[in-house]
Structure formats: C-alpha cells, structure tokens
Structure 1
Amino acid sequence: MGLKKIGWIGTGVMGKSMCGHLITAGYPTAVYNRTPERAKPLVDMGATYCASPAEVAAASDIVFTIVGFPADVEEVYLGENGIIRNARPGTVLVDMTTSSPSLASTIAAQAAAAGMHALDAPVSGGDLGARNATLAIMVGGEKDVFDRVLPLFNIMGKTVQRMGPAGAGQHTKMCNQILIAGTMVGTVESLLYAVRAGMDMDAVIDVIGSGAASSWSINNLGRRIAKGDYDPGFYIKHFIKDMGIALQEARAMNLSLPGLALVQQLYIAAQAQGLENMGTQGLYRACLTVNGME
C-alpha cells in the first residue's frame, strides 16, 4: 500500500483509541498532542512521541488528525509549524476532526499544490465506537487516495464510505449532527417526563428503546443519564461548535433549520451553567435545573 509510517495528531477521547487500533495492527506510529501526558498510553504501546505537528509530518507517510475546533485544524495544517509546510511530497493527510467543509476544501487544494493528498474523514459513534472500532467514517476526497487509506479506516471503523470530493465527508457529518441534535432533545425530554411521572428510567428505556422511538441516543446516552453518568463521549462544547458549523453552512445555502437553531440555544444554556465539558447527555442536567428538579 505504501503507507507504512503513521503520524497521529490529537489523542483525546476519540483519538487515543483510534490511534491505538493502528498501533495494535503493527503500524509504526509517531504521535503528538498539545498535552503530552494524554499521549502517554500510546507511547506505552510503542508509539514515538514528537514535539510538534511538524515533526510528526516529517516522519510519516500518512498523517491523521483529530483535534478540537476548526481553528485548531487550520493551525495544525496551514500554520508555520504545521503539516503541509513540513511533510514530504506524496504524504497523505487525513483530517478526522468534525470541521468546516470549506476548510476541508482549502486544505485539499493547498495539499495538492504541495504535491500531497488530503481526505476529510469525520466520524460518528462516540467514545464507544472509537474503543470498539465500530465508528462510521464519512470521507471526502479523491477515490484513488480513499482506496489507499481504506485498509486503515477499516481498522478503526465498521461503516466506511466515500461520500464525494473534498468537503463531502464534512457535509455528511453535518447531516449526522443535525439528526443527533433533534434526537438528543427528544431523549432528554422523554426521560424528564418519565421522572416527573414517577417512572423508572431504565424500565422506560427498555420498552421505548425497542420500538418506533428507538435510537442510538436513547439506548446509549439514555442509559448513561439513568446512571447519572455525564462523562464525555463527546463534549457539549464540541457539539455547540458542530451545530454552529451546520447553521453557517445552511445560511450559505439559503436553508432554514429552525429545529437545529433551537437545540443549539439549549446547549448554549447548558454551557452557561458550566456544563460544557460534560458529554452531550449533560443537556439533561441543564433541563433538570430549568424544571426545578435538581
């Protein structure tokens, strides 16, 4: 395949597990994270720690990134000490951050101008999907480059699909986040109703999670809410970022998404209550406060 040396930038909730699967599969891997301690589990598995994205880029045939915000993506790829200025021609760049479709297109164009290849490949499935290698991976970019990287994607995910040219992976992830936004509000309000009515949350989920109301949110995040577990599989602050990207793209397409705009405001209210570092199921905590139930 010709992609033997792996570079990985971003070893947070998702990236640590995803990179770990590649190391376990036997790929020599160089890693970088702004907080070095978070990369230690991967170094313990055999990865080499690098001092900067530039160092990772120089050592790799293919560089994966999964960082926080579009501004982080821009810095990592386009900055003075970033990937494109320091990688070799022929290097394949794969951004798995949920980011802006327009930024993905810009990175692809600048990578091509430098003799490199770029894919945007955001994921869905949360921390469980990352740990269990069952992620859905939605990819934008050239088909021949996608085909070269596919064996690596298959190590990290269960459903892998090329969606079109550069930016198409990010557009698909926006569709995903719009749908999740609506189902999360439904999950939270359904369980609030159950508690106010004196019902047992798990018993309710057992029934409604197996019928027409079944969703990943109720059957996974609903269970966490029932346990009082608000640890992040995906941070509230990152979900607010994703909804903002989707609304910005929708405005550019002259598209009205009032449901998404409402959900974003609910999550901003949760952020205002200091809950931004909780998982997305932390919206339940914010709604408890609003309803005087906490």
Structure 2
Amino acid sequence: MSNKLKVGFIGLGIMGQSMAGHLLAAGHPLNVFNRSKAKTNDLVAKGAKWFDTIGDLAAESDVIITMVGYPSDVEQVYFGAGNILDRAKNAYLIDMTTSSPSLAKRIAEEAEKRGCHSLDAPVSGGDIGARNAKLSIMVGGKQADFDAVLPVLKIMGTNVVLQGGPGAGQHTKMCNQIVIAGTIMGVAEGLGYAKSVGLNPETVMESIGGGAASGFQLLNLGAKMIVGDYAPGFYVEHFLKDLGIALEEADKVKLELPALALAKKLYEELVAKGCSRDGTQVIYTRYIK
C-alpha cells in the first residue's frame, strides 16, 4: 500500500493533464474530476480514480489541486454548491489557476477556519513546461504548508519558490504575465518587420535567437509564428483574463502600465476576430499581410 499523499486533481486541460500525469507516475494515488469526463480517460486507464463530484473527491484526498480556467471557476469549486471547503478534511488546498490575489486570500482565510491549509501556486511554462515537468511555480501561503507540499510541487516543476503569504503567488504570476505581454508583442513586431522588409524569418531567428533578444517567447512562440502554427499552448482568452487581472491590481496601487494596456487592447481585437481559442502567438497575424 502506498504511503504517499492522495492527490485530488480538478481541471484536466492542456496543462492539467500533464501535471496530473506526473503525479500519478511518481506513485501518488490520484483522484480526478473534470467537467468533461472524457479528458480524464487516459489518466483513469493508468490508475487514477474518477469522482462524480468535487465534494466527494475532496473528502478522499490529502492534497487537492485545482487548475481551472477563470477566477469565477475557482470561486465555484471552493465556495459554490458541493464545494471543496465543505468536504475537505485537514487537507492541503493548492490553487494553481492564474487567478485573483484577493480570491486567494479569501480561500486561505476560509480554509484556516475549517482546519485546512491553503496555497496559491500559479505556474509559468505553458504546455511545454507542463509536459516536461519543468514549470516555474510561484507560491503564496505559510512556510510550514509550503514545506509540507514541496515534494508534490517539485514533481511538476523545477523552480518552486515561496513568494510570501496568501495572494503572493498570484501577484508574482501577474509580474510574469506583464513581462510576457510586452515580450510577445516585441517578438511579433520584430518578426513582422523581418517579413515586411523581405528578410527570411528563419535566418533572422538564427541571428537574434543567439543574441540579447533571445528568450522563451522568441525561441518557442517566435518559431511557431513564422510557420503559421497558432495551436494553443496557452489560450488567448485565458491570457486576456490574466491581463485584465493584472491591470485591475495595478490600478489598485495607482500604477500605470502602458505596454500591458496595449497588449490587452490587441488581444481584445483578436478575440473579436474569433481567435479566443488560438495560442497567444496568434498576435503575429496582427503584423503580417
């Protein structure tokens, strides 16, 4: 019988599938729930246990990880009908969704009242990082709780850092998304310029990919841009959600972020054109004819 923590995983999307798979492969008994049951079939075939309700999963798990879409989804699974908090017993609740810092604090306060332990732990690295178990995981919560679940988090990521108390992980993820927003615009503009003046984008990538402009967005998403691959590693609609949260949080501290505001505007235009389920690299189409 395994003495490893039983992990409940809610949200088996592009990234959640891989993350949960690593936990199962590492020997953790895995309980799963997803709105679309079919997305759990592969994991169940490998030994994961399907639960019909979130509450039942919570009652049978030592660690409960949520990786859902929007803050409204997070609120639903923690506070809605049949929620996690009503059924979890002295469990570690880890929300890995990119969500609102204020919601993370609310979950932490309610979890403590009920004898549970809460951490907000959003991630960066996209589908590639999730597949390769090389995510960067930004954590907010208490040191003792972080220490208790660190071995679990290290199965999914290589860079796991406690940033501060409840909400600090989400604030750090906002820093991440702000940097990405400006960077991906720069990548799209640079490669768009290359194409417009008649350069070969592949050879341009050889040069600038080895210089000061190099980085994840250029080497991974830039490479996809130049071959017209807009399949999602991270959906435009989810990125736009993140940009909205970051702008709201910046407004609370009276910080103006013009590059972020421009990125949000450009992605809103792409959503209006039907690109909400494309990958974020689809911004390149804004710069090519």
> What is the TM-score with the length of structure 1 in the denominator?
0.96
Percent of residue pairs identical? 51
- Counterpart-to-counterpart distance in 2, 1:39 and 1:229: 26
Q: Is the CA contact (8 Å cut-off) linking 2:4 and 2:29 kept in structure 1?
A: no
Match of 2:143 in 1: 143
Match of 1:249 in 2: 249
SS at match of 2:274: coil
SS at match of 1:270: helix
Match of 2:30 in 1: 29
Equivalent residue runs for 1:1-294 within 5 Å: 4-88=5-89, 90-288=90-288, 293=289
- Counterpart-to-counterpart distance in 2, 1:203 and 1:140: 42
Q: Is the CA contact (8 Å cut-off) linking 2:4 and 2:27 kept in structure 1?
A: no
- Counterpart-to-counterpart distance in 2, 1:201 and 1:35: 40
- Counterpart-to-counterpart distance in 2, 1:17 and 1:69: 19
Shift of 1:80: 2.1
Q: Could you report, residue by residue, the CA deviation over 1:21-61 in whole angstroms, capped at 9, with x for unpaired residues? A: 00000111110000111111111221011112112101101
Q: Could you report, residue by residue, the CA deviation over 1:210-248 in whole angstroms, capped at 9, with x for unpaired residues? A: 111112100010011122211111000000000000000
SS at match of 1:255: coil
> CA RMSD for the aligned pairs?
1.2
- Counterpart-to-counterpart distance in 2, 1:94 and 1:134: 18
Letter in 2 for 1:166: P
Q: 1:81 to 1:3 in 2, by over 3 A?
A: farther
Structure 1, unmatched stretches of 5+, are none
Q: Could you report, residue by residue, the CA deviation over 1:154-173 in whole angstroms, capped at 9, with x for unpaired residues? A: 11001010000000000000
Structure 2, unmatched stretches of 5+, are none
- Counterpart-to-counterpart distance in 2, 1:186 and 1:144: 40
SS at match of 1:118: strand
> What is the TM-score with the length of structure 2 in the denominator?
0.98
SS at match of 1:198: coil
Q: 1:269 to 1:287 in 2, by over 3 A?
A: farther
Shift of 1:206: 1.3
Letter in 1 for 2:115: G
Q: Could you report, residue by residue, the CA deviation over 1:97-156 in whole angstroms, capped at 9, with x for unpaired residues? A: 000000000000000011100000000000000000010000000000000100011110
Q: Could you report, residue by residue, the CA deviation over 1:56-92 in whole angstroms, capped at 9, with x for unpaired residues? A: 101101100100000000000111211001111x111
Q: Could you report, residue by residue, the CA deviation over 1:231-281 in whole angstroms, capped at 9, with x for unpaired residues? A: 111000000000000000011111111110111000000100000100100
SS at match of 1:85: helix
- Counterpart-to-counterpart distance in 1, 2:256 and 2:188: 24
Q: Is the CA contact (8 Å cut-off) linking 1:3 and 1:61 kept in structure 2?
A: no
Q: Is the CA contact (8 Å cut-off) linking 1:60 and 1:91 kept in structure 2?
A: yes
- Counterpart-to-counterpart distance in 2, 1:271 and 1:78: 30
- List 4+ stretches of structure 1 deviating above 6 A: none
SS at match of 2:145: helix
